[in-house]
Structures are given as structure tokens and as C-alpha cells.
Amino acid sequence: MRQATGLVTAAAPALVPHTSREVFGFALASSLADPTIGYSSWNFDLLSTVAFFGLHVDKAGQFIADNGWTVWNSATLTGLVSTAHQHGVKVVLTIVVQDFSAGTPGMCAALAHADTTVAQTLSQVSAKGVDGVNIDYEGLDNSCGTTDSFWAQHAMNALARKMRAALGSGRYLSVDTYAGAAGDPYGFFDVAGLAVSVDSLFVMAYDLEYSNYSYAPVSCSRLCLGPTSPLSAYRYNDANVAAQYLGKVAASKLILGVPYYGRKACVGAVGPNQYPTSDVVADSYLDAAGEATAPEVKPGSYAIHREANSSGLERWDTWFNTTLNCTRELYWDDATSLSLKYDLVAAHGLRGVGIWNLNYGGGAPELWAALSAHFAACTAAGLAATPASPQAAGVQVHLTATSATCSNPLYEFWMLPKGATAWKVVQPYSTSPTLTWNSTGAAAGTEQFGVWVRDANGPGVYASPLGGGYDTSASLPFSVVIPTCTSVTAAASPPSPSRAGAAVTISASALGCPNARYEFWMRFAGSTAWKLVQGYSASATYVWNSAGALGGTEQLGVWARDATSPAAYDTTASLPYVIAPSCASASVSVAPVSVPRSSGAIVTITGASSGCTNAPMYEFWIRAASQSTWRLVQAYGSATTYQWNSRGALPGTVYFGVWVRDSKSSAAYDATASTSVAVT
């Protein structure tokens, strides 16, 4: 065979998967470069594996120099591989042998030369920098001239083992198998035996109308039209196929193949499952989707139907073709019926979905939308906190996760507490993108929060040693601080100085702490020790009754701390407060209380006081009834009495007053009292 020409490319880079399950699509070499349906029209962000189809193997186990070989060695392949790898998509080489002739001599010979095929396949995979191999060997089981009636089946198993050994564990290997292979232990494919060697089995769950027509629910006597890939009801259907495979192979190795095509023919009447009256031909998805607007369709004749027997809503259309002069009937899968098959993949937890083939669908937006809705992995995870870090312990923190590209995101929240070495789940997977964390009791330091995001239709692109899986993740450090009061001030009302007995309100105000608590202290005049007068509380005031206070300077103190602070206090302040020396009250008496006019009688006015801090001082005043002002008659002194000679006094009332003040008081008086004497 001819060897590949051109430069040898470097090994493929490490690829980052971005679909929630495997999306495996075949790429036909014949139209790979066509800009309308080839690889440039595909959405590689919704693919995980593209199989180049393909290189044909001859009876000697060597590659045939046909069109597939030409494209394989062209710039078209280079462009495909480059584009795929830029999007994290694997490219694999499909090697092809298809032989259903009597005795399958071509298949028998190719399998007999498996060593040659494996060696040349490995050479091509390495030369082109692709990521693995897909084996599409389709034939019948037979002895191939040996005494082993299952020789072909055993040789297929051997081919898979040899290919795996040659590729190593780092490259991808898949084998295409028939839909009925798991239910037929005597067929060409030993699915359980193959599964040991491969990463995946591609189940070709299409062309089933050729095997279903003679069975219920249609029971046709010869081929009649029907769904090429029915979801249920027909003898061979996707649900049964999946169940049969799951009985022999792990779900993680199964890819359910779906058709991007249908089949049509002329029929004798409009109705489901009609007998063809012409050749049955294939219609690619794009051809099928365009039938309704084709010029040869008789106006008003086009009708869309849905399969009544299968639950898969497979579509069948009818119309009158004016060129062929017949009613045409087309069975095919559109985005609606394909979506139900995708649901089956998710419901059974299969590895993924396979497409025969991508060229048939090209860039049809509805096909890519259906894949996106079911298999797009979540990307670009983000995590934000409200309120933002840092915050004091006790705050309710609301964490909100975001993601992109997936239609059905699930979120799982994790936390790594300060000082811990292991993450723990704090909110299992759910549709809620939010978590509320109560930071009450949290120690000062940095907590780590994380979120895993995956699409609900997949197990997660990445597996974790902690269990479970995720498509993407994000983390967020969150600092918890224990707030402290940075300063506190104190003020008194009434302001200093004040007399004993006043109700003094001490008001405190702290800064830097959201939940300040205050404790009030006093050091009384003449004392060296502070005394707690009001324990910690949210109240910023203390009312001190100064009754009985000795004159002098009292010290008023306040401690402040945040409610979450473990300290005795964060900050303090003190305020000197002067209690001026004073007497609390004064009284006055006279004797006698009445004297005759011009008698010259002596009246004794006696002052008294109480509550004086120091010795009291007395000052005496007089005012006749006919006068409006008081007159000082005896200035401040220690004497408690004043003697008044009544000689010359006019008849009427004479008023006497006494002012009292503490001997150390600077006030004009601390207290006053007055009385009167009658002059008759």
C-alpha cells in the first residue's frame, strides 16, 4: 500500500471534554470538505468524538487507495483535526470492512491479516496525530474454513485485543456493532467479549425497518415502510436494544447510534407503513427537511404525521410527487424524535449518543439545538458572595453560582472550613444555584467555598475521588473577621461640674464595630479602685444618681467591644466629672415672730442647713414689706444667727432670708430660705 505523504504532525494535545455525555459523530470523507455539510458547518462545541469514515481494508489487511485514502492524506483531514482539537474534540480513524457475500471471504481474509491492519493503523494514527480508532467491520459469523464455527466472532475479539495493545490505554478505541448483537449470542459480534478491550461499543440502532416489517405491530407480508429507528413497540426498538446491551455491557461503554437520515418510496395510498411501489431510497436529514418545499411537490398535498405505534414520535411525511406521478412516503427522525432517543440515553445512563452521520445534518440549527439541550456540558462556573468578603461572624452570607452552555444545570456546594484539610458537601446537587451560610460562631480566618456544576442529563465530565462527577467548578475564599471597636468616646449630661444629687447621664459612642456593647465603670473621688456600675449591654447610656456624692472629681469610665469579640474590651475611655462641694438645703427660723413698734426688741434669725459637704457658711438678708429689694445685713460667715434690733421699724411685715453654701463652694449660694417677722 502507499504510505502517507506530507509532514508528520505532533501528538494530539490533551483534550478537555465539554459535553455531559459522549457525542460521537461519523464524518464522511466524501463530503468532508463541503462547506455546506462538511466539518466547517458543524458545532464542535457539541461534539466529543469525530470518526473519520474511513479507510477501507483489503483482504491482505492493508488500506485501499480509494477516495477515503486520498482525503485522509489531504489538507481536509489536517483542517478537521486542527479544528476538532481546538474545541477539545477527539478525532478517530474508522477502519472499514463490509462483506455480506456468501462465506464472507473478504471479511475472513481481512481478519486473518489483523496483525498487518493493526500495524498500519497505528502508523496512520501516529502520523496524523489523531486520538484513536473506530473499527467498522460488518459481516456474518462463520467458520472461515476452519473447524471453529465461531471463528469470525473470535477473530473480531482478537482484532480488538490487538488494537488495544497497540494503541495503549491513552488512545480511544471503539467498535461498531449491530442493534441486535446483544440479543444474538451466535452472531458476528460478541459484545461482552469486545467490551473488555474497547472504550465504547457504537450500537447501530438504525435500518431496523428491514428487520421489523414482518412482526407486530405492522406484520407486513413484505417490506413496508416504517421508522428506521423506532423507540418502542416494534420488535427491534431502541428501548429493547438498550436493555439487551445493558444486560451484558456496562452503561459507561455504550453509545446509542441514531440516524440523521430516513427512507422514502412511492406508495399506493396515503397511510402508515405502506408497501413501496418503487425503489426505497435514503434521504439525508437535510434532504428530508427540504422535501416540503421541493418544486415537484403538488401544492397542498404535503402532510406531516407522527408514528402511532412507537412512543418515539418518529416522523413520516406524505405528498404527491408530480414528476414521478405517485404518492411518496418518507419515514425519518427529526429533532423531536431524536430528542426522545437522547432522553433514553440519559435515562439509562449510557456513555452517549452516536450519529450516522454528521454530513447528513450539516449545520441544521435544530439538530445542534437538540444536542445542546441534552448533552452540552456546563462551562464557565462562577461563584459570588453577598455581602462580599470580608465580613464579621454572624452575617448571613448568600452564595450564588453561575454557569454557561448547559440547559439543565445542577449545583453542588462544598466548603473547606478554616483549619480543615478536607472539603465537605454542604448542599448536594440540586437545581438551586444559591446557598445561604450562617457565619455565626465562625472563627476569624478564611473559609473556602466551592461549587460543582453539571448538566442534569450527564454524570459529569470529570470524576472526583470524593465521589460523583462535575462538568466545571469554581471556588471562592471568604474571610471572616472578628470586628473590634477602634475607639469610644464618653460624654455627660449635665456637663461637669455639677452638684451632688443631679442625675448624670453618661453616653458612649464606639466606632469600627457593627454590634457595639458597652460596660460602665466609676472611680469615686478619694478612691483608688474602679467599680463596675453597669455590665455589658447594647445600651450606650448609664444614668448616675449623684446624691450623696462627695465633692471633688469623679472618674466616669466606659469599656466597649463588639458583640462577637472575645476580649474583655476592645477600647476604653474615661471622663472626669466634678461634683462641686455644696449644701443640699437651707432653713431659717425667727424668735420672736412678732414685736411691738419702736420697742427696740431684739429678733434672732437662725439659719440651718443639711447635706453640706464641708462646714456651712451663712449670709443674712432683710427686706421690708414696703421695699422691692433685699439688703445684705450679715455677710457669709460661720455664725448661724443674726440679731435684728427692731427699733424704728414701721408697722408691717419684715422679711428675713438666709443663704447657705459649703465653705468650699464657689457658688453664690447652695441653698436659700426665708421667713418673716410681724411688726405690730
9-14: long-range contacts, CB 8 A cutoff, minimum separation 24: 9/78, 9/81, 9/127, 9/128, 9/129, 10/129, 11/126, 11/129, 12/81, 12/85, 12/90, 12/91, 12/129, 12/130, 12/131, 13/85
Cα 59 to Cα 57: distance, rounded to the nearest angstrom: 7
Picking from 378, 399, 382, 401, the residue whose alpha carbon sits closest to that of residue 469 is: 378
Picking from 157, 156, 159, 154, the residue whose alpha carbon sits closest to that of residue 114 is: 159
Contact between 284 and 358 under an 8 Å Cβ cutoff? The reply is no
Q: Determine the number of helices (DSSP H) and then strands (DSSP E) in the chain.
A: 12, 39
E strands, 456-566, in order: 462-463, 469-470, 472-481, 487-493, 498-499, 503-511, 516-523, 531-537, 541-545, 552-562
Cα 333 to Cα 290: distance, rounded to the nearest angstrom: 13
Cα 528 to Cα 189: distance, rounded to the nearest angstrom: 101
- pTM listed for this prediction: 0.73
What amino acid is encoded at 335 in this protein? A
Ordered alpha helix ranges (H), 113-237:
114-128, 151-167, 191-195, 209-212
Strand ranges across the sheet with 424-430: 391-392, 472-481, 445-455, 409-416, 424-430
C-alpha cell at 79: 483542517
In Å, the largest CA–CA distance within the chain is 169
Contact between 440 and 393 under an 8 Å Cβ cutoff? The reply is yes
Picking from 4, 33, 675, the residue whose alpha carbon sits closest to that of residue 359 is: 33
What amino acid is encoded at 532 in this protein? L
Burial class for 127, CB neighbours closer than 10 Å (0-12, 13-18, 19+): middle
The string over 430-457, giving b where at least 16 C-beta atoms fall within 10 Å of a residue's C-beta and e elsewhere, is eeebebebebeebeeeebebbbbbbbeb
Cα 283 to Cα 488: distance, rounded to the nearest angstrom: 85
What local confidence, expressed as pLDDT, does residue 538 receive?
Answer: 96
Cα 33 to Cα 632: distance, rounded to the nearest angstrom: 125
Structure letter (DSSP) for residue 14: P
Cα 426 to Cα 434: distance, rounded to the nearest angstrom: 12
For residue 495, the tally of other CB atoms under 10 A from its CB is 10
Burial class for 105, CB neighbours closer than 10 Å (0-12, 13-18, 19+): middle
E strands, 208-299, in order: 254-259, 261-267, 281-284
What local confidence, expressed as pLDDT, does residue 15 receive?
Answer: 58
Axis crossing angle, helix 114-128 with helix 151-167, rounded to the nearest 10? 30
Instruction: Tell me the mean pLDDT per 10 residues along the chain, length 680.
Output: 27 60 97 97 97 98 98 98 96 97 96 98 98 97 95 98 96 98 93 98 98 97 98 97 98 98 98 98 98 97 97 98 98 98 96 98 97 93 95 90 93 93 94 95 89 92 81 94 90 90 93 93 91 96 88 91 88 92 88 84 92 90 88 94 89 92 85 91
Cα 200 to Cα 132: distance, rounded to the nearest angstrom: 12
- The answer for 32, left when phi > 0, alpha when psi is -120 to 50, beta otherwise, is alpha
Contact between 505 and 492 under an 8 Å Cβ cutoff? The reply is yes
Contact between 223 and 210 under an 8 Å Cβ cutoff? The reply is yes
Cα 54 to Cα 82: distance, rounded to the nearest angstrom: 18
What amino acid is encoded at 314 in this protein? E
Picking from 557, 585, 583, 582, the residue whose alpha carbon sits closest to that of residue 571 is: 557
Ordered alpha helix ranges (H), 63-150:
67-72, 75-86, 105-112, 114-128
* Cα dihedral 162, 163, 164, 165 in deg (nearest 10): 50
* CA R_g for the chain: 51
Picking from 480, 484, 558, the residue whose alpha carbon sits closest to that of residue 514 is: 484
Cα 247 to Cα 260: distance, rounded to the nearest angstrom: 27
For residue 415, the tally of other CB atoms under 10 A from its CB is 18
SS3 state at 489: strand
